[in-house]
Structure 1
Amino acid sequence: MVAVLSVLVPFVPHRPEHIVPYAAYVQWSPAHRLWQGQATLVEPFQSFAFAAGAGFRVPVGTGVTLMPLRHPYEAALQARSLAATTGHPVVAGFGPGAQVFQQQLLGAPYRSQLGAVREYVTAVRRMLDGEPAEQDGAYFPMHTGLHPLPTPPVEVGLGVLRPRMAELAGELADVAISWLTSADYLGEVVLPALRAGAAAAGRPAPRLVAMVPMALARPDRDPVRLALASNSGHLRMPHYRDMLRRSGIETDPQDLEAGAKALLAGQAFLYGGVEELAASIRAYWAAGVDEVVVNLTGVHQLHGPQATLAELDLIVRAAA
């Protein structure tokens, strides 16, 4: 596949119309796909459908929605409905979420993170393939499928930070989706694990998508503040901190400013001139990433929507 560049909605929408400028941008620019992460205000499947109803029908992806929020049947139904609504292929990305989130919604974390993900992704993929999900699992026992409906294809994605989940994605998923991961870590750790899992299953390795936080350097900007505005929550989460440690980036939840500086030094948060950012994006492609997603969350938080859209266009056109 030719390497492509896509766009993340850089905020959690309070109203579905808030994402329309980004859908319009994807429709009119070289950007390939519009992505949203999990949201607990306006739900991403519904805001994507709203944008399609407003006339902006573009390829979309969820990267990632959290398994405790929806049963696999509902997940497959929502993803297929979105493909029917947009008229474009959909990447439906899923992940188990943090264990504290599982505790809050389910009463206890999944006993096996990998086991729960295996059952979930297997069930969703089978139903999207038009087959019944027949499994007597520990987490998602199911004996049913979706009614037939012709739609554009839906790819099942899996959020991947560490090698064991990458191996599982290689075995089961169509797309592996990373967040806050450096190009070097993806090329040296994640991709070999993806390929190993795929080889063990006798199938091609899934595509690799990287959600990359970044910002243009400007005289009135503080890169540490931008990195914090984009990723302070991630710097507190054990699974993100473990992934960052494996990639040589040490963080401490008691010292978020030091963690933000480490993100910048380790190239997990990109900061520089437009040509520097374009070169860094190309480094992801060179490392084996198929799709780089421009994440300007920090810019939006600190400088607002107009600055974000203008900056997005500069970066996309320079890199594309």
Structure 2
Amino acid sequence: MSSDMRGGVLVITHGSTLDGVIEHIRTAARAGIGTAWLPQVFGNDALTTLAVAGREVPRIQLGTAVVPTYPRHPLALAGQALTVQGATGGRLTLGIGPSHRATIEGAYGYSYDRPVRHVREYLRALAPLLRQEAVDYRGETLTAVGAVDVSGATPPSLLLAALGPAMLRLAGERTDGTVTQFTGPRTIADHVVPTITRAASRAGRPAPRVVAGLAVCVTEEPTARRELLGNIYTAVGTGGEPSYRAMLDREGVATAVDVALVGDEATVERELRRYAEAGATECMATLFGTDQENARSLELIASLG
């Protein structure tokens, strides 16, 4: 299958050793996958893992989806990201985002008041730091004074997890694009792509990357796999993540399972084409089948081009 949308996979780190994560990335690379993405939750540090994996697995692009901003000062994150960029020969995409109120307030104890303001100030410090420029930024929520020096490292591509209009405009104005989750093709076409593209154009920036996070399973047992995914995604859109609920409502579906790509090769390929036609530039697939089903999914995703 040839497509303007590039293929990638989100490697789930929960329950895996470092060696196990690296082996998953190696498997993706052997299958011809373009990018291996790692989440950042309460477990393996994504950027540290990518630094190690990038030294062991050549060529495949690497990304975070996504590093929460609140717990990491821009000076610290810039130094870490540039170190990974240097260690991997310039293969890093740094995906960041504000996470969700339930996590930031409930786990970290930080205020989640006005997250768009927070991210705007964060990017004003982070973006120049990634270019290894000195900053002297003093905002309402953030102070960043200084610079990082990582010899030989180039600025990584910077993406912002953005779903709502204000965050999408910010992503278009200040970053290279966005990473979405639980967002269907109609919402990508009618909301995400036009909003971020207009903002990027007005800011004089290139056409943005739009990385669509998708649950994918090539299988002969779609009903059973959808039931499995329903158990995994039981709280999506019903808990402390109203941004996901808003995307599902825009798409006109009830649950996150309704935007999953499940079925045989022809079915999943048809759904992937819908995302490409909607304007997604890349897919980031979360695989949730058996080993055999995941191998079929990888083969199909690698064929995107």
State the TM-score, normalizing by the size of structure 2.
0.90
Structure 1, 189-198 or 309-318: larger mean CA deviation: 309-318
Contact 1:89 1:152 in 2 (8 A): no
Give the number of the structure whose residues are more often helix, by fraction.
1
Paired amino acid for 2:148: L
What is the deviation of 1:225? 1.8
1:101 is matched with which residue? 103
Q: Paired residue for 1:232, among 234, 249, 253?
A: 234
Q: Paired residue for 1:311, among 288, 296, 302?
A: 296
Hey, what's the Cα distance between the residues in 2 that align with 1:147 and 1:24? Answer: 30
Q: Paired residue for 2:141, among 117, 124, 139?
A: 139
Determine helix, strand or coil for the equivalent of 1:27: helix
Determine helix, strand or coil for the equivalent of 2:66: strand
1:256 is matched with which residue? none
Deviations 1:184-218 (A, max 9, x none): 11111011110222233232332111111121232
Determine helix, strand or coil for the equivalent of 1:131: coil
Hey, what's the Cα distance between the residues in 2 that align with 1:319 and 1:205? Answer: 20
Hey, what's the Cα distance between the residues in 1 that align with 2:231 and 2:59? Answer: 30
Determine helix, strand or coil for the equivalent of 1:234: coil
What is the deviation of 1:145? 1.2
What number of residue pairs does the alignment pair up? 301
Structure 1 gap segments, 5+ residues each: 251-258
Hey, what's the Cα distance between the residues in 1 that align with 2:208 and 2:279? Answer: 11
Paired amino acid for 1:118: R
Contact 1:77 1:146 in 2 (8 A): yes
Structure 2 gap segments, 5+ residues each: none
Percent identity of the aligned residues?
Answer: 24
Hey, what's the Cα distance between the residues in 1 that align with 2:58 and 2:42? Answer: 23
* Runs of 4+ with >6 A deviation: none
Deviations 1:196-245 (A, max 9, x none): 22233232332111111121232385143233244334232222112211
2:184 is matched with which residue? 182
Hey, what's the Cα distance between the residues in 2 that align with 1:9 and 1:171? Answer: 29
1:269 aligns with 2:273: no
Determine helix, strand or coil for the equivalent of 2:178: strand
Higher relative contact order (CA 8 A, sep 6+): 2
Contact 1:278 1:318 in 2 (8 A): no
What is the deviation of 1:40? 1.4
Calculate the aligned-residue CA RMSD, in Å: 2.2
State the TM-score, normalizing by the size of structure 1.
0.86
CA gap 1:79/1:148 in 2 versus in 1, 3 angstroms: closer
1:280 aligns with 2:271: yes
What is the deviation of 1:99? 0.8
Contact 2:4 2:276 in 1 (8 A): no
